Amino acid sequence: MDFQLTDDQIQLRDAARDFAVKEMTDVARELEDASQPLDREHVKRYAEMGFLGVNVAEDLGGLGLGNVEALLVLEEFAKVSPAVAFPIFESSVGPVRAVEHFADAGLAQRIVPSVCSGEMIVAVAMSEPDAGSALTDLKTKAEISGDIITVQGQKRWCSGGGHADGYVVYARMSDDPGAKGIGAVFVEADAKGLSFGAPEQLMGFRGIPSADLFFDNVQVPVENLIVPAGGFKKLMEAFDLERCGNATMCLGIAQAAYETALAYVQERKQFGKLLADFQAVQLKLAEMAMQIEPARLLIWRAAQNAADGLPSILDSSLAKCFANEMVRDVTGAALQVMGAYGYSKEFPIEQRLRDGWGWGIAGGAIDIQKINIASALVGRRFDQRK
């Protein structure tokens, strides 16, 4: 057991940190102010630098490295902002990994290399107006007839909605109840019959577009099938990796908030001495560090235990749940330490608090993760409908 990064991992992390800080800090501010997604030229620049698809197989356009390496890169960009980190999230832990792992080779070769090269953005369409935490209640249908799949329904809370080039759509593909009837299909953004609602106005996540998706008899070739009915378990296995990405977004946000507060208290004076010389502030700094470091270790454990595959639901849920709660505590403490300056939009702390809060809702709410953890511990699922 080794808790030290290798020289190659350190080099990759430092390269990501240098690029993110020097080239993306001002861009992140612009995205926040305009609430617009990162433009495609920047995404292609990420690809040129090797920051997309870090853990994707080389024959599919990735670097062929492990999940830990991918999350190291993601954390450095998340420290700048989730908006500039989101293309890395999508390429390394997002829905494209379900395509890579479970779709036929033809579909994977058509989509995954394009994501790794920055030519394509892929989003996941899971939630619906009446199916969020109760995802198996989804009503969107995908019916196969001959060589055509017809999709009918509505999706909500789709990060990338209206901006992505294609969507991994969870849908009911048979009359079997619950999870047994669910599979997934890939739908291109320009498919006839697919339309989008107005962009969501959210508390945070500015620069990460979100909108409803409406499928009005959308037809795609049967080759776009990712997993058939009964493939829900596979889809959620891929989503366990996305939970590690969610946790890493929290980690990056919290680390950046902590570093900002740490620098501030060593410059700001009150009552004739530095804030860092007050014991109450020292305790706050220690408490923040005591929350950040365990989150990092839980995330790395989940990623490392999975090697280059997919993490377990227990490891990923522990990491996500802890990080979701941690980022809310740390950003709140950082804002409090900085006082009015933390509350001001002139400084990044208030944005980090808003962004951090959202990750405990996205990708499975905190309480749902705790139920997943309990289920894994006792070895059986709990029926929430009884």
The CATH number that applies at residue 324 is 1.20.140.10
> Across the strands, what pairs with 378?
none
- Same-domain pairing of 142 and 164: yes
Per-residue pLDDT, 308: 60
Quick check: is 386 in a domain? no
List, in order, residues 6 or more apart from 259 with CB less than 8 Å away: 79
The DSSP string of 177-223 is -GGGGEEEEEEETT-TTEEE-PPP--SS-TTS-EEEEEEEEEEEEGG
- Same-domain pairing of 225 and 259: no
CATH code, 69: 1.10.540.10
What is the domain extent for residue 220? 122-229
Final residue of a structural domain among 116, 133, 150: 116
CB 239 within 8 A of CB 363: yes
- DSSP conformational letter for 275: G
Quick check: is 138 in a domain? yes
Final residue of a structural domain among 184, 211, 229: 229
- Same-domain pairing of 102 and 165: no
User: Could you give phi then psi for residue 164, rounded to 5 degrees?
Assistant: -70, 160
- Same-domain pairing of 168 and 133: yes
- Same-domain pairing of 79 and 128: no
The pLDDT tens digits of the residues spanning 133-177 come to 878 889 999 999 999 999 999 999 999 999 999 999 999 999 998
- Same-domain pairing of 109 and 170: no
Q: Tally the domains of the chain.
A: 3
Quick check: is 384 in a domain? no
Give CA–CA dist 24/22, Å, rounded: 6
Per-residue pLDDT, 292: 98
The pLDDT tens digits of the residues spanning 21-39 come to 999 999 999 999 988 999 9
- Same-domain pairing of 244 and 366: yes
* Exposure letters 252-284 (e unless 16+ CB within 10 A, then b): bbbbbbbebbeebbeeeeeeeeebbeeeebeeb
CATH code, 215: 2.40.110.10
Per-residue pLDDT, 383: 77
- Same-domain pairing of 138 and 201: yes
Per-residue pLDDT, 367: 92
pLDDT in 10s for each residue of the chain, 386 residues: 778 899 999 999 999 999 999 999 999 999 999 889 999 999 999 999 999 999 999 999 999 999 999 999 999 999 999 999 999 999 999 999 999 999 999 999 999 999 999 999 999 999 999 888 878 889 999 999 999 999 999 999 999 999 999 999 999 999 998 889 999 999 999 999 999 999 999 999 999 999 999 999 999 999 999 999 999 888 888 888 899 999 999 999 999 999 999 999 999 999 999 999 999 999 999 999 999 999 999 999 999 888 667 888 899 999 999 999 999 999 999 999 999 999 999 889 999 999 999 999 998 899 988 998 999 999 888 877 77
Which stretches does DSSP call E strand in 245-337? 269-270, 273-274
Give CA–CA dist 110/87, Å, rounded: 18
Residue type, 183: G
Quick check: is 341 in a domain? yes
Quick check: is 293 in a domain? yes
* Predicted TM-score of the model (pTM): 0.94
Residue type, 368: I
- Same-domain pairing of 277 and 296: yes
Residue 371 neighbours by CB distance under 10 Å: 16
- Same-domain pairing of 224 and 240: no
Give CA–CA dist 42/84, Å, rounded: 9
Q: Which residue has the tokens 């890579």?
A: 100
